[in-house]
Structure 1
Amino acid sequence: MDRNTLIGLVLIFIIIGASVFLMKPSEEELKRERQLQDSLARSRAGIEKVDQDTSAITETTTVLDSTILSGPFGGATAGSERIVTLENEYIKANISTKGGQVKSVEIKGQETYDGRPLMLFEGDQNKFGLFFSSAGKNIITNDLFFTTTGSDIRVVGQDSASVTFRLAYDADKYIDYIYSIKGDDHNLGFTILTKGMQDVIAPTETQLVLNWETVLYQKEKDMSSERQRSTAYYALADGDVDHLSTSNDDEESFKENMEWVSFKQHFFSNVLVADNGFNGGKINVYASVDDHIVKLFAANLHLNFSRQDINTYPMHFFFGPNQYKVLKAHGYGLEKQIDMGWGPMKWINRFITVPVFNFLDGFNWSYGFVILVLTVLLKLVLSPLTYRSYVSMAKMRVLKPEMDQIKEKVGPDNATLLQQEYLKLYKQAGVNPLGGCIPLLLQMPFTIAFFFFFPNLFELRGESFLWVKDLSTYDSPITFSPLPIIGTSHLSLMCILMTVTTLISTWYNNSVSGATGQMKYIGYFMPLIFLFVLNSFPAGLNYYYFLSTVFTFGQQVIIRQMINDDKILAIIESNKKKPEAKKKSKFQQRMEDYMRQQQGKGKGKK
């Protein structure tokens, strides 16, 4: 490697490190950001709030003046909060009479990274209710008290049950929230029913606005990774699934019909599906500087309101894991929330990796062993490409002495003539110089596909292997104070193993291929760069890359023993004696045509 290249690489690392350090926000900026996010959390729904001077609500009993009590739904502005629990094998949902909303949901059998019960919803930050106008006032059902005669429900198997929460205007005019649950399901049924509201809701309104807001708290060890993989997803009526930004505050407004909206965290989703669709709306996602908050979500969803006695809006919530087979079985394209990559990587993961992994998972092996078998199967399938690539490199290695002689004879300054002489040699020897690269390129999508597959694989969550406590996040047996440049405070042992084996493999390839100059050293830089890049990636991913490198190295050693350089040289010498017309390949013909054009241009300039 020449001096200029080395200086350039050093400068790049210095610039990256300096930019990370200098762009770090100050304490004052962080304080202002917290104040801004607190303000957004109170107003992000974008709807007009009721004047705070007109109400004074407490969690138990509210005391109001007579003017408020005589207004629309005046009797519902005061009341006592009561919680009704709906529970099955998978979820435990607490429904509050205040707002008639889901106050919290526990995913049974799951825990946060620090051992607490996993709650998808929790606390008073959640908001869920209808917004409309009545008698010149804005009504927000989230702030009103519903009534219910229901009690706690627990179902199993095929059993089902429901409970109704009612917000009454009078005896014949009311809004019902009907929650239902059945066993063996991650769903919570939800239906809105309006009775006699055509004379209560302002005559100018043709839609109800369903406002849904929540704050989602940290559940995984790596907050940075959890934030990168958490955002709002949505499906349009035509089945197209898309999402908001994963890195910045974002919002999206819709005029077309929507089928569902999801507030997605890394490994869990909160989805609201409308059987008849939402008639447009607006979705927001906000970042947070709070160390324990992943993101803040808000959605205003439109429901068509008809001037008739009864309107029903059947929906259901999905509260569950982002496990590909679970989401796919649920339908509605929910599995598209899992990032499987782009282009060919997405199809490789969806139609090859996922089915093979699910098949191996059925044997109830440890996930460390499942990854091992998955790696072996992949290497066996790709072994023909690996063999062809190695044979092609062996041919180039055998030709290298002749190429060095040509370079010495022509001189390094005449690049065009040098390439022409090389092409003649390739043609005579029957060698394709790209023969070693093409098989490697064909294997590349499979290698990159796992870069998306493992970080989003729910099955690895909380699963231990050897010294790794959780394969879905980084292992950190070595910890220290955060480094100012790269910001890490740990070293992943699995990542170190992957890096060391890659360096050994690179050294072996260089010694076999006879690489010299810059090419000899470039191969050593990539593993060192990935040591920092993959240090905070899941241990399962680094474990796969470690296994993949070991098996690739083993394949190369075995193939090296199978290939005899003397036999290859004999084949090349035999090819040289064949008629020239039979030795041309399409690649060589194109290269010859290109060289003639370049040579012609050079003569024209003279």
Structure 2
Amino acid sequence: MDRNTFTGLFLILLILVGSTFLLKPSQEQVKKEQLHQDSLKAIKEGKIKAPTANASFTPQKSTIATDSAAIQGAGNTAAAPQLVTLENKELKVTLSTQGGRVVTVQLKNEKTFDKKSLILFSQEQSKFGLTLTANGKQVQTNDLIFTPSAPSLTVTGKDSSSLTMHLAYAANQSIDYVYTLKGDGYKVGYNLVLNNMNGVVNAQNNQLTLNWAASLRKQERDMKMERTYSTVFLEDTDGDVNDLSLTKDEEKNYADKKIQWVSFKQRFFSNVLIAKDGFTSADVSVATDVSSNDVKQMSAKMLLPYSGAAAASYPMEFYFGPNQFDLLKQQGYHLERQIDLGWGPLKYINRFAVLPVFDFLKNFNWNYGLIILVLTILLKVVLFPLTYKSYLSMAKMRVLKPEMDEIKGKVGEDNPTLLQQEYMKLYKKAGVNPLGGCLPLVIQMPIILAFFRFFPNLFELRGQSFLWMHDLSTYDSVINFPMIPFLNWDHISLMCLLMTISTLIQTYFNNQTSGATGQMKYIGYITPLIFFGVLNSYPAGLNYYYFCANILTFSQQYFIRLMVDDKKIHAQIQENKKKPEDPNKKKSGFAAKMEEMMRQQRQTPAIQTKKK
């Protein structure tokens, strides 16, 4: 079993290293990225002029004629567009008369990783508008000029104000975008109104098409991590949340159920369009352009039901804001389900155990490094009985080791079945559970994995400093160097390094406690090195938690060791061995299965000999 375990771990290491090597970028991709970086450097130095727009989102001129048969006042796409701002305590939303749409959104209370204004997307890299057929011609409202009801709108206090973008067709016929903003909050009301357009807009298919696309800008230090947690989410009116791939380009059509909302989600921020009455269906897509400084390109084509009535209204609202669990939950419509809290039991551990404790500690307004430390201490206190039981079991196994070595010398290693059977007899007489030291660790494993999901998605850590770590939501590089393609590294994280060293030290003392020898003695040293390779680019807050957990575990074991007397354990084991076996005592399911398995293994050679 020791040799098999060692072989399995070694194969896992080979798979991790091999996959990293096989998935590394090709020379063509490297050259493309280098060319892009050289262009950016030339733009910065003023050697070449920066492009003014992203080609994939450049507005196209409308094909509608500008005579009386076309939309009046909006058919002239040559008219110069104007910008209109909506502003409250949290948001500065810029609208353009071209398309009457939101072209940029600034979160006033947030900054990018390099302390610049945080803008979710730009005018050149987004589009939004209706695609419809009017008088037999296709209309793209994204290209047409709207008329604003006010030059700007600033809302303070608890007031709520609205601004209308008006697209006239003829007298008493128009398409209106009505935007509503409150004095605080991250929502922008959006109401699409068609006034007396039933004789103009073709209602043959009984639906309108609303197109939305955006290339989301880089906000965080680590582009790879940001792309890992960015994709399109959507929820249907039955409350089921779906998402596109995080790792590859993907397109999907959702037509089985009405769609409640569509979200262009980044790691820490979301752009959500909510239809209060739902969309008929949605075609959504996500793509990554490795040559771009933007995170991902996302698009959605949503269908709205249109009966051809004289007046049609579609109440909707945008959410432009942080992916903070409690804040998203306050918005309704299950927006908080975008945050990845893990799968299966991990999600419930984070949702109903870790989050409430974390939110409680936030009320003390402590530094988040201190909050993580206190959270770790509370966790270790709760798990202390398991830790004590694990240590006690390892101590018993250590005390029994001389007797096990004696049995091994008598039986030999050539008959592993008989050797295990003799070991089981010894365990049974001594009253020792050989898995007693492992089971508590197995029980703690879901909690360790739950934190692995919890910290990378925790908005509260963004931009928070502690000790030398300037941002707990990203890695704390102490050494930087050119990218190593084989490992995909360009830095060494100091906290990850400290975490790895502490784990190796803890493994050394665990081996001393358990008396591990041979291959098992060295297996524990391989795992921390593997995790170092995985966690080197993960948030400093996650590595800090693992480091604190290691230090506290080591401290607990030190004090437990002072409390546990090997001589008393040995005396207790000898007393247990003297006790007569209780014939009425029910065997555990595990013990019964082990005995049955060994009995069958003993019978197998005899059966084979008899057949011969």
Say yes or no: TM over 0.5.
yes
Q: Who is 2:70 aligned against?
A: 72
Instruction: Verify the 8 A CA contact 2:496 2:536 in the aligned structure 1.
Output: yes
Q: Deviations over 1:57-107 (max 9, x none)?
A: xxxxxxxxxx54344315413233122211111111011111010011100
Structure 1 residues 257-268: aligned runs within 5 Å: 257-268=258-269
Structure 1 residues 359-398: aligned runs within 5 Å: 359-398=360-399
**Greater CA deviation, 200-209 or 96-105?**
200-209
- Overall identity of the aligned pairs, in %: 51
Give the direction of change, closer, same or farther, for the CA distance of 1:13–1:144 in structure 2 (3 Å limit). closer
Task: Describe the SS at the equivalent of 2:445.
Answer: helix
Opposite residue 510 of structure 2, the aligned amino acid is N
Aligned-partner Cα distance in 2 for 1:27–1:520: 42
Instruction: Verify the 8 A CA contact 2:73 2:167 in the aligned structure 1.
Output: no
Instruction: Verify the 8 A CA contact 2:57 2:127 in the aligned structure 1.
Output: no
Aligned-partner Cα distance in 2 for 1:470–1:442: 31
Deviation at 1:11, TM superposition (A): 6.0
User: What TM-score do you get using the length of structure 2 for normalisation?
Assistant: 0.91
Q: Who is 1:96 aligned against?
A: 96
Deviation at 1:53, TM superposition (A): 9.1
Q: Who is 2:249 aligned against?
A: 249
Q: How many residues align?
A: 586
Instruction: Verify the 8 A CA contact 1:127 1:213 in the aligned structure 2.
Output: yes
Instruction: Verify the 8 A CA contact 1:188 1:316 in the aligned structure 2.
Output: yes
Aligned-partner Cα distance in 2 for 1:17–1:158: 53
Deviation at 1:203, TM superposition (A): 4.0
Deviation at 1:506, TM superposition (A): 0.4
Instruction: Verify the 8 A CA contact 1:427 1:584 in the aligned structure 2.
Output: no
Deviation at 1:477, TM superposition (A): 2.1
Aligned-partner Cα distance in 2 for 1:212–1:11: 44
Aligned-partner Cα distance in 2 for 1:9–1:277: 46
Asked whether 1:596 is paired with 2:594, we answer no
Q: Which structure 1 residue ranges, 5 or more long, are not aligned?
A: 56-66
Aligned-partner Cα distance in 2 for 1:511–1:154: 68
Deviation at 1:361, TM superposition (A): 0.6
Instruction: Verify the 8 A CA contact 1:273 1:317 in the aligned structure 2.
Output: yes
Structure 1 residues 388-467: aligned runs within 5 Å: 388-467=389-468
Q: Who is 2:155 aligned against?
A: 155
RMSD: 2.5
Task: Describe the SS at the equivalent of 1:121.
Answer: coil
User: What TM-score do you get using the length of structure 1 for normalisation?
Assistant: 0.92
Deviation at 1:566, TM superposition (A): 1.3
Instruction: Verify the 8 A CA contact 1:178 1:191 in the aligned structure 2.
Output: yes
Deviation at 1:455, TM superposition (A): 0.6
Q: Deviations over 1:21-53 (max 9, x none)?
A: 57454457769999xxx9xx86799xxx97x69
Give the direction of change, closer, same or farther, for the CA distance of 1:9–1:389 in structure 2 (3 Å limit). closer
Aligned-partner Cα distance in 1 for 2:15–2:459: 36
Aligned-partner Cα distance in 2 for 1:458–1:81: 36
Instruction: Verify the 8 A CA contact 1:454 1:538 in the aligned structure 2.
Output: yes
Give the direction of change, closer, same or farther, for the CA distance of 1:281–1:10 in structure 2 (3 Å limit). closer
Q: Who is 1:64 aligned against?
A: none
Q: Which structure 2 residue ranges, 5 or more long, are not aligned?
A: 38-50
Structure 1 residues 188-587: aligned runs within 5 Å: 188-255=188-255, 256-581=257-582, 585-586=587-588, 587=590
Aligned-partner Cα distance in 2 for 1:512–1:360: 35
Aligned-partner Cα distance in 2 for 1:221–1:269: 18
Instruction: Verify the 8 A CA contact 2:287 2:298 in the aligned structure 1.
Output: yes
Deviation at 1:390, TM superposition (A): 1.2
Q: Deviations over 1:410-434 (max 9, x none)?
A: 1101011111111111111111111
Aligned-partner Cα distance in 2 for 1:217–1:2: 50
Task: Describe the SS at the equivalent of 2:487.
Answer: coil
Deviation at 1:205, TM superposition (A): 2.9
Opposite residue 462 of structure 1, the aligned amino acid is G
Give the direction of change, closer, same or farther, for the CA distance of 1:298–1:13 in structure 2 (3 Å limit). closer
Give the direction of change, closer, same or farther, for the CA distance of 1:26–1:91 in structure 2 (3 Å limit). closer
Q: Deviations over 1:336-358 (max 9, x none)?
A: 11110111111111111111111
Consecutive aligned runs of 4 or more in structure 1 exceeding 4 Å deviation: 1-14, 20-24, 26-34, 41-45, 52-55
Instruction: Verify the 8 A CA contact 2:264 2:270 in the aligned structure 1.
Output: yes
Q: Deviations over 1:150-183 (max 9, x none)?
A: 1322222311100111111111111110000002
Give the direction of change, closer, same or farther, for the CA distance of 1:19–1:166 in structure 2 (3 Å limit). same
Deviation at 1:12, TM superposition (A): 5.6
Opposite residue 178 of structure 2, the aligned amino acid is I
Deviation at 1:251, TM superposition (A): 1.1
Q: Who is 1:123 aligned against?
A: 123
Task: Describe the SS at the equivalent of 1:468.
Answer: coil
Instruction: Verify the 8 A CA contact 1:20 1:485 in the aligned structure 2.
Output: no
Aligned-partner Cα distance in 1 for 2:13–2:87: 58
Task: Describe the SS at the equivalent of 2:328.
Answer: helix
Q: Deviations over 1:110-152 (max 9, x none)?
A: 1111111000121222111011112221111001111122132
Opposite residue 131 of structure 1, the aligned amino acid is T
Aligned-partner Cα distance in 1 for 2:74–2:147: 9
Deviation at 1:332, TM superposition (A): 0.9
Task: Describe the SS at the equivalent of 1:369.
Answer: helix
Deviation at 1:581, TM superposition (A): 2.4
Instruction: Verify the 8 A CA contact 1:69 1:75 in the aligned structure 2.
Output: no
Opposite residue 585 of structure 1, the aligned amino acid is K
Aligned-partner Cα distance in 2 for 1:357–1:393: 33
Instruction: Verify the 8 A CA contact 1:450 1:541 in the aligned structure 2.
Output: yes
Opposite residue 297 of structure 2, the aligned amino acid is L
Deviation at 1:9, TM superposition (A): 8.1
Instruction: Verify the 8 A CA contact 2:149 2:166 in the aligned structure 1.
Output: no
Task: Describe the SS at the equivalent of 1:76.
Answer: coil
Q: Who is 2:48 aligned against?
A: none
**Greater CA deviation, 390-399 or 497-506?**
390-399
Instruction: Verify the 8 A CA contact 1:192 1:313 in the aligned structure 2.
Output: yes
Aligned-partner Cα distance in 1 for 2:302–2:35: 31
Instruction: Verify the 8 A CA contact 1:54 1:68 in the aligned structure 2.
Output: no
Give the direction of change, closer, same or farther, for the CA distance of 1:26–1:456 in structure 2 (3 Å limit). closer
**Greater CA deviation, 316-325 or 559-568?**
559-568
Opposite residue 373 of structure 1, the aligned amino acid is V
Aligned-partner Cα distance in 2 for 1:15–1:68: 61
Instruction: Verify the 8 A CA contact 2:62 2:143 in the aligned structure 1.
Output: no
Aligned-partner Cα distance in 2 for 1:343–1:13: 24
Task: Describe the SS at the equivalent of 1:533.
Answer: helix
Deviation at 1:8, TM superposition (A): 6.5
Aligned-partner Cα distance in 2 for 1:53–1:179: 24
Task: Describe the SS at the equivalent of 1:72.
Answer: coil
Opposite residue 592 of structure 1, the aligned amino acid is E
Opposite residue 207 of structure 1, the aligned amino acid is Q
Aligned-partner Cα distance in 2 for 1:495–1:198: 63
Opposite residue 262 of structure 2, the aligned amino acid is V
Q: Who is 2:45 aligned against?
A: none
Opposite residue 587 of structure 2, the aligned amino acid is S
Q: Deviations over 1:289-335 (max 9, x none)?
A: 23411000110011000121111100100010001111111111111
Q: Deviations over 1:485-539 (max 9, x none)?
A: 2121111111111011111000011111110111100101111111121111000
Opposite residue 178 of structure 1, the aligned amino acid is V
